[in-house]
Structure 1
Amino acid sequence: MTAYEVMLLNRNGWEWWNDTTTLWDRPWQDSGECPADLRTLYIAQLAIWFVTAFSHKFVEAKHNDYFVMYGHHVATLGLVSLSYFNGWQPIGLSTLFVHDSSDIVVDLLKMVNYLGYDAKSGLFLAEGFFAINLVTWFLMRTYFFLLKVIRSTIPKDLFAPGWGDYNRSAPLISPQNACRLLLIVLSLMHVYWYCLFWRILVRLLRGSAGHEAGREYEGSSDSEPEENGKKANVNARKRTFRLQMLTDNWPVQVFGVC
């Protein structure tokens, strides 16, 4: 998905990414229809987020950040829909690129974790990808999201001369302001999860076992009685230090009992 988004951004010379004043333009307003490849991306993204929202609501166990995660799904669905139907594909594409590019490391982290490539026997691959995730999450979802996307939502010179690129007027209750509000909400969620990553890491470095450090995220769920019944089998298996880490779409054990 990220490669497809890079192709779309590269088609116009990365103008939307480099010049944030263009993110709220409507490049296909006159023609009335955006290109087929960009429309395909939006359809795929809407389908993915509908599925993840449904899964989070009806399939997955409830963790401590259940409502934050569900709010993230709803906000993303709202942003994708608003940007497409109002012709703001530049801001939508840039937001999707920031999210999906940071998910590359998260997906690799899930893969090595599921394969058991952690600790010394796994060449510390899970631990290494978790450390890389701390960097990529900060760069894409905190730094670049603020520098590119959020900056485009702030009125010109509101906080400092030359900072802020939003130069359009709109009623208080309007699709533009709804989109801007959802982007700010997403940014706050990114910071919340990034702090959670560091909090889990600090607890590990202080000597907490990985599954204990992860309880802060896990909380309680309906599956807890069933898990307690399997403790004897779990204790007989190999234990490693794992975290319970949160991805953008679903929870993933990153250093726990295997």
Structure 2
Amino acid sequence: MVQVVAVFFVLGKGSSYGLGSVPPRTASLALAGAIVAVFATILLVKHVSVAVGSVVSRYLFPGDPLKKLKSLHKFRDQMWQLAIHVSMTSLEAYILFYEGGETVSWYSNYAHLWVPHPHAQNGLCAQTPQSIQLLYVLQMAIWIDTCFGHRFLEERHKDYFVMYLHHVVTIALVGVSYHYNYTKIGTIVLFVHDASDVPLDLLKIFNYCQLEGPKGLFLVELDYVLTVYTWVHCRFYLFGLLLFRGVICAPREVALAPQAIAHQVVPTTCEPRYTVCMAGYDKARKSDGFGRGHVKGALLGDGSFDVRRSFDEMGWGSHECLPVYWEATALLSTLQLLHYVWFCMLINIILVKLTESTEWHDSARDVYEGESDEEAEADPKPVAAKKAD
């Protein structure tokens, strides 16, 4: 609750860095409306999922796996998560690969994520596209609603506290990214996470429906392999590179580069001017070349930037040109640690299945799902019973 109040306070206060085409009052009202609209949509998806899931489970799935109320509730909760992740992934893909052609190069040149510098991406000269404004308002509303639902409405899993920390960190990251206009890097971070969540949502849904083995067309087994692959590729490889190159190295390369003098413009005339970030640049210039991690004749993104040298010359404290640099790095690093926690749970599912010869849904229940008292009484110690057989 405190964090939500802080979000509305920051939006209402406004920011010289933020999305210049959206007045603070309008942004606050848009977020409030989005929270209500997203919550209503979630309720609608839940009701439809319960109705459709009950019928499909009864007539199509072997053994009617959703006949237990607890299983049906978990299926319902995961269906709206799937709907959210698919819709957000589609919007983010549209922004990155259709609208923002230059953003596609982030795979090979992370410095492009910070050109123009976020200080120059607002106001009259370079307004943030409406699609990104829509994305951020929706994402903030989704995570606020998700955090509320996780705390008060949804069934609890064994990663309850890990997921709750994830919600809190994500709300903070979306708010910081919006306030300081770090929208290029923020959109990609959201895309990498949402895209990799889709196979995971499907895996949980297939597991609740017990679509494993030949009767379930091996959907659980196939999607498990896909989930592990996308998790490693998106959360460890892409996000790991994004965290180190795009968040730790690239902003310092751009903000401290000789070309940075043209990264900010006068709002009324749109003419280049020296940024306040570079006010002390001449003091760091060396007689035989450039300082701050750059060498003489260097071009932005040519690979010659030495991030360690930039820290040695400019110090390890926060730089005036990179607000909340270390705070954002710490929040993103926390997300990466949580990725490892969930990956260990994913791997543990297959280990339990192989070592104890259980079914997939039993392995997932032991490692992740947990069970209610109602389920325990209705189906006591299913794994132990299988071993006895």
- State the TM bucket, normalised to the shorter chain: 0.7 to 0.9
- Distance in 2, matches of 1:110 and 1:216, equals 13
- Distance in 2, matches of 1:48 and 1:94, equals 17
Q: Over residues 201-241 of structure 1, what are the superposed CA-to-partner deviations in whole Å (9 max), with x where a residue is unaligned?
A: 1121113424256323345xxx7322223228x97xxx99x
Amino acid at match of 1:107: D
Q: Over residues 80-104 of structure 1, what are the superposed CA-to-partner deviations in whole Å (9 max), with x where a residue is unaligned?
A: 1110111100111010010011122
- Distance in 1, matches of 2:348 and 2:305, equals 35
Q: Over residues 69-126 of structure 1, what are the superposed CA-to-partner deviations in whole Å (9 max), with x where a residue is unaligned?
A: 1111111111111101111001110100100111221233344345543211111011
What corresponds to 1:23 in structure 2? 113
**3-state secondary structure, aligned to 1:206:** helix
What corresponds to 1:2 in structure 2? 89
Structure 1 range deviating more: 203-212 or 164-173: 164-173
What corresponds to 2:367 in structure 1? 216
Q: Over residues 119-176 of structure 1, what are the superposed CA-to-partner deviations in whole Å (9 max), with x where a residue is unaligned?
A: 111110111101110001100011100112332233478xxx8686998972599523
Aligned residue pairs: how many? 231
8 Å CA contact 2:345–2:367 kept in 1: the answer is no
What corresponds to 1:12 in structure 2? 100
Amino acid at match of 1:80: V
1:50 aligns with 2:144: yes
Change (3 A) 1:191 1:162: farther
Change (3 A) 1:15 1:30: farther
Q: Indicate the percent of aligned positions where both proteins have the same amino acid.
A: 34
Structure number having the greater helix percentage? 2
TM-score (norm 2): 0.52
TM-fit CA distance, 1:21: 2.1
- Distance in 1, matches of 2:154 and 2:122, equals 40
8 Å CA contact 1:23–1:91 kept in 2: the answer is yes
- Distance in 2, matches of 1:196 and 1:81, equals 29
Change (3 A) 1:163 1:79: farther
TM-score (norm 1): 0.76
What corresponds to 2:83 in structure 1? none
- Distance in 2, matches of 1:213 and 1:39, equals 38
Match of 1:91 among 185, 200, 205: 185
**3-state secondary structure, aligned to 1:38:** helix
* Gapped regions of structure 2 (runs ≥ 5): 1-87, 254-292, 294-303
**3-state secondary structure, aligned to 1:87:** coil
TM-fit CA distance, 1:16: 4.0
* Aligned pairs for 1:84-163 within 5 A: 84-155=178-249
8 Å CA contact 2:211–2:220 kept in 1: the answer is yes
Change (3 A) 1:64 1:163: farther
What corresponds to 1:79 in structure 2? 173
Match of 2:375 among 210, 216, 227: 227
- Distance in 2, matches of 1:103 and 1:97, equals 10
Q: Over residues 21-49 of structure 1, what are the superposed CA-to-partner deviations in whole Å (9 max), with x where a residue is unaligned?
A: 24343152343742111111111111111
Change (3 A) 1:37 1:174: closer
Amino acid at match of 1:29: N
Match of 1:181 among 330, 346, 359: 330
- Distance in 1, matches of 2:350 and 2:229, equals 13
Amino acid at match of 2:138: A
1:207 aligns with 2:297: no
8 Å CA contact 1:9–1:16 kept in 2: the answer is no
- Distance in 2, matches of 1:77 and 1:68, equals 14
Larger radius of gyration: 2
- Distance in 1, matches of 2:89 and 2:367, equals 31
Match of 1:196 among 345, 361, 372: 345
What corresponds to 1:256 in structure 2? none
Root-mean-square deviation (CA), in Å?
Answer: 3.3
- Distance in 2, matches of 1:143 and 1:162, equals 22
Which structure is higher in RCO with an 8 Å CA cutoff and minimum separation 6? 1
- Distance in 1, matches of 2:341 and 2:214, equals 31
